[in-house]
Every structure is written in structure tokens, then in C-alpha cells.
């Protein structure tokens, strides 16, 4: 009887440790994705502002923003530096794999993730 009880305790301990590790890993990945999302939003918003300053109108969409360059001292520079993930239609994806929302009338860039809509 003692051996069987000991085996049950070991199994419960292993399951608890596994669950704890999975929970920790999930929260760590989520936190990393949220940090990346904030940085992506900053880069896109800065790119929209630069595009507006140079062209006197907002870009028609984020695809145009990311693929466009502007003349600067020393050559051409992209409005948005870095590589962004894209879906099969070429839409720019956030760190969670969802397309950004963009309003070409106002230049507002926002995440499509409902929990991050006010970022």
C-alpha cells in the first residue's frame, strides 16, 4: 500500500511540475509577443508620420508604407525599417500573427487583437 501511495504522489508531482512549466512558458511567450507588438506599433506609427511629412498625405495602406522609401541625405531609406511578417495577401502581420488595422483617412495603426485594441 505504501508503494502505491508513493507512486501516486510522484505522478501528481510530475503533473504539477509539467503544468507549472507550461503555464510559465505560455506567459513568457505572451509577454515577448506583447513587447514585440509595442515595438511594431511604434515603428509603423513613426513610418506613417514620416510618410505624411514627406508626401503630405497618409499612405493608402500598410503594404505601401512598408515597401516605400524616401530620399534622405545619403540616399534612400525605408519609411519602416525591418522585416514584417506578411500573410498570403501581403497584409502586414503583428507578433501574434494577425493583420494590423489601418485607417488611411486618419493614419491610425492599431492591432486587431481585441485585448490590445487600445494600444
**For residue range 17-72, what is the model confidence (pLDDT) as tens digits?**
777 767 666 665 678 888 889 999 999 999 999 999 999 999 999 999 999 999 88
What cell was used for 33? 509577443
Please give the residue range of the domain that contains residue 80. Answer: 2-116
pTM score of the predicted model? 0.73
Domain count, the chain: 1
Class of residue 92 by CB neighbours under 10 A (exposed 0-12, middle 13-18, buried 19+):
buried
The two beta strands, 101-103 and 108-110, are antiparallel
Question: What is the CATH number for 89?
Answer: 3.30.700
pLDDT single digits (tens) 74-99: 889 999 988 889 999 989 999 889 99
* Phi and psi, residue 92, nearest 5°: -75, 130
E strand or H helix that includes residue 78: strand 75-78
Amino acid at each position: 500500500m505504501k508503494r502505491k501511495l508513493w507512486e501516486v504522489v510522484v505522478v501528481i508531482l510530475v503533473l504539477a511540475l509539467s503544468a507549472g512549466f507550461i503555464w510559465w512558458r505560455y506567459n513568457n511567450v505572451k509577454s515577448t509577443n506583447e513587447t514585440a507588438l509595442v515595438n511594431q506599433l511604434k515603428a509603423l506609427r513613426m513610418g506613417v508620420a514620416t510618410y505624411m511629412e514627406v508626401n503630405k498625405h497618409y499612405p493608402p495602406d500598410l503594404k505601401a508604407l512598408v515597401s516605400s522609401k524616401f530620399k534622405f541625405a545619403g540616399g534612400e531609406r525605408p519609411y519602416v525599417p525591418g522585416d514584417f511578417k506578411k500573410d498570403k495577401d501581403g497584409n502586414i502581420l503583428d507578433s501574434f500573427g494577425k493583420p494590423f488595422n489601418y485607417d488611411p483617412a486618419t493614419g491610425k495603426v492599431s492591432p486587431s487583437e481585441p485585448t490590445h485594441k487600445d494600444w
